[in-house]
Amino acid sequence: MNKIIYSLIFSTIIFSNSNAKSNFWSDWDNWSKESSKLMDKFVDNLKKTRKNIDEVFDKLKEDYFESDISNVNIFETKSGNEWGIEFKLPGFKKEDIKIKIDEDGFLHVNAETEIDEKTKRKNDKNKNYIYESKNFSARKFSQTIKLPENIEYMDQKNIKVNYDEKTGILEIKFPKKKEKTKQNKEIELELK
């Protein structure tokens, strides 16, 4: 009962005093507008951040993933004795490339190079350069491929690896496993 009486008294005071009433709603409107502006700014900044992150990941995807997939050709020699794979790695030197095959039959090809070039210009005796620009870039290639079961990939001496720095083509050839002659699984026995 006391709660009802207090609420009636409070509402009477608030609504009987029009000045207090108008100040309350005016303050409420101002707070509401400011909150809305701040929230809009926050959402805009969040959208810009998301857009920037998407651009970074799109660039990474373009540079490191999509370009590598198209750099592989798989072939079988015309004789049928060898299975091979070609990687297009232009701009890399032999010492930049690492190749390994793990025990599960995965071929790993990695290449990484760094280019550090000073901008070339004519030396002017009347100028003392405070800053000279340098071009620095790094390139990376990484590809892993599961090798088929019908090739010999654990015998290093029979695997042929060739890299032509002019064309940028890395070629790896594996000998195929010799097919075992199948014996009849069924035999007929005569009764005696």
Of 13-27, 40-54, 164-178, the poorest mean pLDDT is in 13-27
pLDDT at 6 over 60: no
Please report, for residues 33, 77, 189, the alpha-carbon distance to residue 88 in angstroms, rounded to integers and kept in the order given: 60, 18, 59
pLDDT at 110 over 70: yes
What letter would DSSP give residue 96?
G
pLDDT band at 160 (very low <50, low <70, confident <90, very high): very high
Please report, for residues 17, 53, 93, 111, 141, the alpha-carbon distance to residue 60 in angstroms, rounded to integers and kept in the order given: 64, 11, 23, 17, 13
Give residue-wise pLDDT tens across range 120-158: 555 666 777 666 666 666 788 888 888 888 888 888 888
Q: Looking at the domain that runs over 72-120+131-175, which CATH code has it been given?
A: 2.60.40.790
Q: How many residues does the chain have?
A: 192
Higher per-residue pLDDT: 52 or 168: 168
pLDDT at 66: 43
Q: Are strands 106-118 and 97-101 parallel, antiparallel or unpaired?
A: antiparallel
Give residue-wise pLDDT tens across range 59-71: 665 555 444 445 7
pLDDT at 16: 57
Give residue-wise pLDDT tens across range 57-107: 776 655 554 444 457 888 898 988 899 999 998 888 999 999 999 988 899
Domain limits of the chain? Answer: 1-70, 72-120+131-175
